[in-house]
Structure 1
Amino acid sequence: MKLKYLFLSLFFISIWSCDEKDLDLELVQVATPELMTKTDFRNSVAITVPKNIEKVGKIYAYKNYIFVSDVNKGVHVIDNSNPVLPKAIKYINIPGNEDISVKDDFLYADSATDLVVFDISDINSISLVERLEDVFTIYNYNIPIEAQAVDYGKMDYENEIIVGWKVTSEWRKKIDNRLIAVEIISNDVAFNSAESVTGQGGSLARFQIVENYLYTVGNYQMAIFNIQSLSSPVLENTQNAGWNIETMFQANGYLYLGSTNGMYIYSIENPSSPEYVSEFTHWEGCDPVIVDGDYAYLTLRGGNDCGQEESVLEVIDISDKAAPILANRYELQNPYGLGIKENTLFVCDGTSGLKLFDKVDPLHVKLTKTYGDVQAKDVIPLESNLLMVGGNTLYQYKYIEKGVELLSSYTLK
């Protein structure tokens, strides 16, 4: 009996000691990188048969093809010569890929710190023709949203690349009674015939081609490539671009960079060295931007990892590029990308669907139609039809007098 009481006493002392110790601990979601050597990484580019998409990313349209990114893994090629029956035909394995741009049958893609170039003139025989190594000083590490801390361990930044993440729950010591913030780490590395055809990306793009230049933007830096020789791009310049840059849009000799806290405007009168003109500042929120005439249209998504709770569409008067001003603001639910076709503004409102606004009067845009039975992330308004991606589906619509009409829905997984 005494032994029993002694055991219980020791048990409660143990619990008390653990509770006392755990007062300085917090259960944290820790992301640990999955690594690959740069040599293996650079040798892993491959053109294969179609495969299932693991995580749908951005979309890009070029001629009769649609390119759909598989986040951080590669690009799926879809034959869209018949929009009613699109067909996957190739997969380009590009580890560390987020964005692409295409001009005259040459496809440019980021691969973590590198820029890779593919000849797609024969879509059935795509070939890698160039790789510029270590031209991006920072790439999106695609840290999982749920991660509250990052453990880089003994990563060799010179010789290794992050290709994925493993998230585990771990007890970590509190810092000022707050969870450890996710870090943003930089990589300190060195770095003619027929009518020209350039493809078209959505509003979430970070790549833009303007004449003989490819502009790319990362978290805070812009890289400018001369692509006069399409198969042999040359990195002409890198420069600071702002902070927390998420998207880039080009129009009429200017670049418009959407960041989590505003919009930056750059002139490309000197194409190899964009010049800062001004910025428009708003509260923190995820922020793609498009431009039409004297007005820029921004969606700000609040909540989660995007800052404030409020989600809105903002209309910015940019008639004076040096002094952009807020013209109007409209409430939304969960906005992502947007696009314009003539007087219609298409807004992807996440789980609230695709929304169409009449923008005849940019100062007073009017909601005219809501397609609430779809999940909408980004759109590309083409000449003859509208492309939209949401969830794991690629939607195509034809334009009709009072809206759009579904042509096809193609499952991407």
Structure 2
Amino acid sequence: MKTQSENLRKTKEWKRLILYGTLFMILLTLLGSCQENCDKPTYMHYEPIYAPLSEVRVTADFVGPQVLQSPGKLYYKDNHLFISEINKGIHVINNSIPSRPEKVGFIDLPGNKDLAAKGDFLYADNYMDLVILDISDKKNIKEVNRLEDVFNEYYYLNAETGEVLIDYNIEEREYDVECGEEIIMFETLDFSPINGGGSSGGTGVGGSMARFTIMDNYLYTINDWQMKLFDIHTLDSPIPGNEIQLGWGIETIFPYQDKLFLGARTGMHIYDNSNPELPTHVSTYSHVNACDPVVVSGDLAYVTLRSGTECETFSNQLDVIDISDIHQPELLVTHEMENPHGLGINGDCLFIAEGEYGLKLFNSSNPMTIGDQMIKHHKGVHAFDVIPLDNILFMVGEDGFYQYEYDCNDKLKLLSSIPF
């Protein structure tokens, strides 16, 4: 006959088994749920876009004003603004009266991203070609010459079909694997077409995001890894010049005195341009991977680093670099920013386009305290790039083109805007 103590012991064992069994079933349920909802690794899928060569290589056509929808690079020359409409062409705006800008027309030029001008001629890309446009009559702009296949690095021509690879649709996809299954990850190469500022002697002025610029009698263009030169002594008949290998991740080019400053994902490269037909590397200031435009004034270079998927970083900052010794650029100070894109400087006025966080004006007279010297902050705009002149600022963003009157005290007055 079982004793009361034995019955009590067996009852406790059964309860323990039931408890363990219940916990085990709960664990299985949770694991199953985790399997269904776990985060699978992703990759970027590139779907090629092709177009017939007859639709790619087309003569530029000057048509009536168009609606600005997807702005790219900004360029100023002879009281006129040239704003690229990404992959479509260039808007031409008469800005003789900044408070009343007037749309003049549109240069219909598929595949355009970049531009620069000197004298009466504008240089622009048409996919793989360099197109030369006569802009002496701003109301009747004409294509006068073109160099074919000088930018063909990204534009593959299928000889059998006659079609050109012009772009990619990019989509993030999940790997088709079970949760927890190990896979071999490969780095995805970005084959996006090239994107594309300048000053001095008869040229116009570009922004900090420029990939075309002109110094003296040479046009300098960059892609992700190289610089291509064109001799423009005869303005309407450029001659291809030297090609200079730069490394990977080159994004922007900024001319200053006899130097070229290149913004790259990994740093700022400085090239001596005292021999304009063959720039030579002087030094590099390295930083973490980030989108990186640069502007220069005196002995200081200003570099913004921006976060984002395409920028491969979480840094949002302004680096001020001492370039008094051009061979040894040295970081002076880093100022925290929100999401800086393009920037521009004129005197002590430093402008930073902060993307969705708007436009900011800083006093840069003391580079160590720039972050504490914000003069004005124009919110409610999505700022991409800027060009500051004597007292007028041009700004382009996702939602429009804006002009401001400014000084380095407390003025940032909106003069006009063209909404997109």
TM class by shorter chain equals 0.7 to 0.9
Spell out the pairing of 1:185-200 with structure 2 (5 A cutoff).
Answer: 185=191, 196-200=201-205
Query: C-alpha distance in 1, partners of 2:51/2:362?
Result: 46
Match of 1:394 among 385, 390, 401: 401
Spell out the pairing of 1:2-401 with structure 2 (5 A cutoff).
Answer: 30-139=45-154, 159-166=162-169, 177=183, 181-185=187-191, 196-365=201-370, 366-400=373-407, 401=409
Superposition deviation, residue 230 in structure 1: 0.3
Answer whether contact 1:44 1:95 (CA < 8 A) is retained: no
Answer whether contact 2:114 2:212 (CA < 8 A) is retained: yes
Match of 1:407 in 2: 415
Q: Which amino acid aligns with 1:409?
A: S
CA distance change for structure 1 residues 299 and 167 in 2, over 3 Å: closer, same or farther? closer
Q: Which amino acid aligns with 2:347?
A: E
CA distance change for structure 1 residues 390 and 407 in 2, over 3 Å: closer, same or farther? same
Query: C-alpha distance in 2, partners of 1:67/1:178?
Result: 47
CA distance change for structure 1 residues 308 and 47 in 2, over 3 Å: closer, same or farther? same
CA deviation vs aligned residue, 1:311-368 (integer Å, no higher than 9, x gap): 0000011111111110100000110010011111111111111111111122332323
Superposition deviation, residue 57 in structure 1: 1.0
SS in 2 for 1:398: strand
Answer whether contact 1:356 1:403 (CA < 8 A) is retained: no
Question: After alignment, is 177-186 or 52-61 more displaced?
Answer: 177-186
Superposition deviation, residue 241 in structure 1: 1.7
CA distance change for structure 1 residues 339 and 168 in 2, over 3 Å: closer, same or farther? closer
Q: Which amino acid aligns with 1:360?
A: S
Answer whether contact 1:237 1:272 (CA < 8 A) is retained: yes
Question: After alignment, is 199-208 or 37-46 more displaced?
Answer: 37-46
Match of 2:10 in 1: none
CA distance change for structure 1 residues 170 and 328 in 2, over 3 Å: closer, same or farther? closer
CA distance change for structure 1 residues 305 and 176 in 2, over 3 Å: closer, same or farther? farther
Query: C-alpha distance in 2, partners of 1:158/1:239?
Result: 32
Gaps of 5+ in 2: 1-34, 194-199
Q: Which amino acid aligns with 2:115?
A: I
SS in 1 for 2:383: coil
Answer whether contact 1:386 1:396 (CA < 8 A) is retained: yes
Gaps of 5+ in 1: 1-19, 142-151, 188-194
SS in 1 for 2:368: helix
Query: C-alpha distance in 1, partners of 2:120/2:412?
Result: 30
Superposition deviation, residue 26 in structure 1: 7.1
Q: Which amino acid aligns with 1:367?
A: M
SS in 2 for 1:177: coil
CA distance change for structure 1 residues 245 and 156 in 2, over 3 Å: closer, same or farther? farther
SS in 2 for 1:377: strand
Q: Which amino acid aligns with 2:413?
A: E
Query: C-alpha distance in 1, partners of 2:203/2:229?
Result: 17
Query: C-alpha distance in 2, partners of 1:102/1:137?
Result: 22
Q: Which amino acid aligns with 1:322?
A: H
Query: C-alpha distance in 2, partners of 1:304/1:218?
Result: 20
Match of 2:21 in 1: none
Q: Which amino acid aligns with 1:227?
A: I
Q: Which amino acid aligns with 1:261?
A: T
Using structure 1 for the length normalisation, give the TM-score. Answer: 0.83
Query: Over aligned residue pairs, what C-alpha RMSD do you find?
Result: 2.9
Using structure 2 for the length normalisation, give the TM-score. Answer: 0.82
CA distance change for structure 1 residues 178 and 202 in 2, over 3 Å: closer, same or farther? farther
Answer whether contact 1:138 1:186 (CA < 8 A) is retained: no
Superposition deviation, residue 196 in structure 1: 4.8
The structure having more radius of gyration, on CA atoms, is: 2
Q: Which amino acid aligns with 1:398?
A: E
SS in 1 for 2:418: strand
Question: After alignment, is 325-334 or 163-172 more displaced?
Answer: 163-172
SS in 2 for 1:69: strand
Superposition deviation, residue 53 in structure 1: 3.1
Superposition deviation, residue 162 in structure 1: 3.4
